[in-house]
Amino acid sequence: MAPTATSATSPATAPATLEALAVSAWFGSHKVLEQVSLTMPAGQVTALIGPSGCGKSTFLRTLNRMHELIPAAQFAGEVLFEGEDIYAPERRLTDARRRIGMVFQKPNPFPAMSIYDNVVAGLRLTGARANRRTKDELVEECLTRAGLWKEVRGRLRQPGGALSGGQQQRLCIARALAVRPRVLLMDEPCSALDPTSTRRVEETIQELADEVTIVIVTHNMQQAARVSQQCAFFLAEHGTPGGIVEHGATERVFGSPEDQRTADYVAGRFG
């Protein structure tokens, strides 16, 4: 049964804890992740850091079953959303994608669709129904939460593709928020943006952290230090699958890491 207008647009629920247990992943016969376990606490920002090719983005995609979209992809392990495995046979794929939203590296609004329609697009994809007034309220709320409302409120019917890169990325955040996720995954959301837009997206992340659990992949060490409370350092060495070398409070991982490889990476000695 499709959700009612009330359930589709009711106030956002509390952030959720996400826990990966012994997650492994393959592309065909190539194993890219080996037995990764990590708890991403509710209401905090967890940063995934490490050099290219160590499995960070693959791990991120396993957290809402996006990994399944890749031909020949395989998965092993569990991903617990508030203690329930999203990969359990009785769990629906659409439930995982609704509860655990995603913002990609390159801003991907529907370019010919208006700013307004971009925000409410997720309602149609999830089968939710809402009347015009409810949609209007939802658009304003989500654009406000994404830090974009004041900039676009006078041109909601203009194409989303006409916005600047930073505005497009915040529009994608607003679109993800419209379906009331309790976790938001971000795959290098600022890598294609200029410094001013990056700062605004980082501000948005910090403002959202009390409302939704955020997991962000970033190659920018300063960004990880600025926006996250928890940090996990991934590494793949000598052709082996990627895994976590060290994780914990961001301040400790950056300030007094336990593993020399972590110290070398955050100091910029490799990667």
Q: How far apart are CA 145 and CA 141, in angstroms?
A: 6
Q: What is the mean pLDDT of residues 135-139?
A: 94
The answer, yes or no, to whether residue 135 has pLDDT greater than 50, is yes
Residue 257's pLDDT is 96
Exposure pattern of 51-60 as b/e (b: 16+ CB <10 Å)? eeebbbbbbb
The CATH number of the domain holding residue 67 is: 3.40.50.300
Q: Is residue 191 part of a domain?
A: yes
Say which residue the tokens 């208006």 belong to. 114
Global pTM? Answer: 0.91
The answer, yes or no, to whether residue 9 has pLDDT greater than 90, is no
Q: Is residue 86 part of a domain?
A: yes
Q: Is residue 33 part of a domain?
A: yes
Higher pLDDT residue, 9 or 36? 36
pLDDT cut 70: percent of the chain above it: 94
Q: Is residue 56 part of a domain?
A: yes
Q: Is residue 62 part of a domain?
A: yes
Q: Which of 101, 204, 197 is nearest to 149 (CA)?
A: 204
Exposure pattern of 141-172 as b/e (b: 16+ CB <10 Å)? bbbebbbbbebbeeebeebbbebeebbbbbbb
pLDDT cut 90: percent of the chain above it: 81
* Domain that includes residue 216, residue range: 5-266
Q: Is residue 210 part of a domain?
A: yes
Residue 174's pLDDT is 95
Q: Is residue 271 part of a domain?
A: no
| Range with lowest mean pLDDT among 55-59, 89-93, 168-172 | 89-93
Number of domains in the chain: 1
Q: Is residue 129 part of a domain?
A: yes
